[in-house]
Amino acid sequence: MTIRWAMIATMLTGIIACAPDNPGKIPEYLSAGQLQQAMTSGEFSSAELVSHLLARIEAIDRSGPGLHSIIEINPDALAIATALDDERRAGRVRGPLHGIPIVLKANIDTGDRMATTAGSLALAAHRAPDDAFHVAALRDAGVVILGKTNLSEWANFRSSDSSSGWSGIGGQTSNPYVLDRNPCGSSSGSAVAVAAGLAPLAVGTETDGSVMCPAGINGIVGIKPTVGLVSRDGIIPIAHSQDTAGPMARSVRDAAVLLTAMAKKDEADFASSAYPGDRDYTVGLDSATLGGVRIGVWRKYHGADRRPRVKAIFERTITRLDELGATIIDPIGFDIPDGANDAEYEVLLYEFKAGLHKYLANAGVGPSINTLSGIIAFNRDNAAQSMPWFGQDILEKAVGKGKLDEPGYLRALQDSQTAMRRALDEVLQRHRLDAIIAPTNAPAWQTDFLDGDRFSLSSSRPAAVSGYPAITLPAGEVLGLPVGITLFGAPFSEEKLIRYAFVLEQATKARRNPQFIRSLEE
């Protein structure tokens, strides 16, 4: 960890030294739209913006509060920004993301000088042969990939006692609102980088809650798309039936802009067979209303009624939706199907082994770590660095699973995904719902290496297991710690969910920037 941060510090020093002067004229926390407008008017260039953000990363992420959200800086970021500035001067602007810096979760392939590691020391030297499909689409849209973000190692599928936001390479990411609190995971670094103003946009990945929880706990917007809307190519996998990349931003509009650029049909991804076609997810936002929209209230989420202050925020949100013209159906009587939770875990164990072997076979890694058994052996041989706080019991369970044609796997898939889809479809149709609403998260818990994470509230499972879309946005705070609200619905209903979230966001203006408080107890 110390060696990696020393390398980043050296790289930052070199990049900033050769960067254009930035006389402090770039305000913090500007949206992607505001940044684009400023570059269009010539207030500053993309290269100046990159320089500014690199300095902020050094001051806030590496030093100062020490968030540890950025696992690696792109050594070519400034050169990419300069080239995009040249394009702008020549009259070519690729779109709303031209010259906008973004960060990517470190389990997403980039065919450049950055590593793709999933935070694991076993993959510290792994360079992907090419970009993930959605990363190539983002480059075509004109983004500057500023760096890669820390995460819960192996996307939080390593240990049942893990601390979210910790990886062997990046260490522990901190929550920017209260530093001794956890950022949730597994897309911890992506959420924290956006919340702290280190980048306007980020890409995370989700299997079950890995975009939604960190977005909610860090006070930003996160979108978990329908599985198949964004290509799954080039993501170190957990489970192909649930995995997806998703945008993270400080506003619904910015998240919609990023989703527009990411969501392109990948003919090689069989989940894209139902792809609805390219579209601009920002169209109609400013004229959107909730008149006639039917929103169901889910009151049987994990941890319901355990957190009265979260429930109060939830109730205020429901009241606000009613005032904005929505028809509220409360409650909807939706239950997680019996056995679905255990069945989902079984599916993840099977699919993780199969998917990881497929990924590693094409990754060009050495023969000693091109299987799950090899990864497990590496961690054992390097336990002091790889497992200082918690073990790898989930990896050890997964390695014992067989192939995806086994009856145990097929039965678990029926009892999880098939059953969840059937239950969701039934409740959506019975009440003629456009969306379902529930709290995203409880306030962040204190990071604890002894006992691990404490997920006291969650609503991510229905959308995650079914592969259906969800969006979370800030709804309020408890003692300065953000609480989010989730809207989820039918497959490929992202346009509707984004519009509803935008109307609610504009009405509540609930998001607050972090103040980097060290502890609530101080």
Other beta carbons within 10 angstroms of residue 436's beta carbon come to 27
Check residue 295 and give its pLDDT: 98
- Strand, helix or coil at 221? strand
Cα distances (Å, whole numbers) of residue 400 to 376, 397, 519: 12, 6, 42
Task: Give the integer Cα–Cα distance in Å for 145 and 321.
Answer: 37
The closest of 23, 19, 22 to 11, measured between CA atoms, is 19
Catalytic one of 186, 187, 251, 386:
186
Type of residue at 116:
T
pLDDT digits (tens, 9 = 90+) for 224-242: 999 999 999 999 999 999 9
pLDDT digits (tens, 9 = 90+) for 387-429: 999 999 999 999 999 999 999 999 999 999 999 999 999 999 9
Task: Give the integer Cα–Cα distance in Å for 470 and 30.
Answer: 25
Provide the pLDDT confidence category of residue 14 given band limits of 50, 70 and 90: very low
DSSP per-residue string spanning 74-95: -TTHHHHHHHHHHHHHTT---S
Active-site residue flag, 163: no
Task: Give the integer Cα–Cα distance in Å for 427 and 205.
Answer: 27
Task: Give the integer Cα–Cα distance in Å for 222 and 474.
Answer: 10
Check residue 67 and give its pLDDT: 98
Q: Please, are residues 184 and 150 in contact by the beta-carbon 8 Å criterion?
A: no
Same fold for the pair 2-274 and 294-338+417-508 = yes
Catalytic one of 45, 51, 105, 353:
105
Catalytic one of 69, 120, 162, 210:
210
Fold assignment, 294-338+417-508: Amidase signature (AS) enzymes (3.90.1300)
Cα distances (Å, whole numbers) of residue 473 to 109, 176, 211, 436: 27, 17, 11, 14
Here the contacts of 516-522 (C-beta below 8 Å, separation 24 or greater) are 516/60, 516/64, 516/65, 516/176, 516/177, 516/179, 516/196, 517/177, 517/178, 517/179, 517/480, 518/178, 518/179, 518/180, 519/178, 519/179, 519/180, 520/178, 520/181, 520/479, 520/480
In this predicted structure, the answer to whether residue 7 has a pLDDT above a threshold of 80 is: no
pLDDT digits (tens, 9 = 90+) for 386-395: 999 999 999 9
- Across residues 93-108, what is the average pLDDT? 98
**Parallel, antiparallel, or unpaired: how do β-strands 244-249 and 201-206 relate?**
antiparallel
**Parallel, antiparallel, or unpaired: how do β-strands 166-167 and 171-172 relate?**
antiparallel
Q: Please, are residues 486 and 471 in contact by the beta-carbon 8 Å criterion?
A: yes
Other beta carbons within 10 angstroms of residue 209's beta carbon come to 29
Task: Give the integer Cα–Cα distance in Å for 309 and 30.
Answer: 30
Provide the pLDDT confidence category of residue 521 given band limits of 50, 70 and 90: confident
* Omega before 331 within 30 of 0, i.e. cis: yes
Q: Please, are residues 133 and 234 in contact by the beta-carbon 8 Å criterion?
A: yes
Check residue 27 and give its pLDDT: 96
Cα distances (Å, whole numbers) of residue 53 to 172, 322, 366, 375: 21, 40, 35, 35
In this predicted structure, the answer to whether residue 13 has a pLDDT above a threshold of 90 is: no
Strand order through the sheet with 201-206: 70-73, 144-149, 101-105, 201-206, 244-249, 221-224, 470-478, 481-488, 435-439, 294-297, 327-329
User: Tokens in use for 263?
Assistant: 């969501």
Q: Please, are residues 189 and 91 in contact by the beta-carbon 8 Å criterion?
A: no
Mean pLDDT of all residues belonging to the chain: 95
Cα distances (Å, whole numbers) of residue 516 to 5, 67, 429, 440: 21, 9, 45, 22
Check residue 10 and give its pLDDT: 46
Task: Give the integer Cα–Cα distance in Å for 249 and 437.
Answer: 20
Show me where the domains of the chain are located.
2-274, 294-338+417-508, 340-409
Active-site residue flag, 186: yes
Task: Give the integer Cα–Cα distance in Å for 32 and 413.
Answer: 40
Type of residue at 493:
S
pLDDT digits (tens, 9 = 90+) for 27-81: 999 999 999 999 999 999 999 999 999 999 999 999 999 999 999 999 999 999 9
Check residue 21 and give its pLDDT: 46
Active-site residue flag, 416: no
End-to-end alpha carbon distance in the chain = 28
Provide the pLDDT confidence category of residue 25 given band limits of 50, 70 and 90: confident
DSSP per-residue string spanning 126-195: ---SS--HHHHHHHHTT-EEEEEE--SHHHH-S-TT--TTEETTTEE---SSBTTB---SSSHHHHHHHH
User: Tokens in use for 79?
Assistant: 């050169």
Provide the pLDDT confidence category of residue 24 given band limits of 50, 70 and 90: low
The closest of 28, 47, 128 to 85, measured between CA atoms, is 47
Q: CATH classification of 2-274 is 3.90.1300.10, yes or no?
A: yes
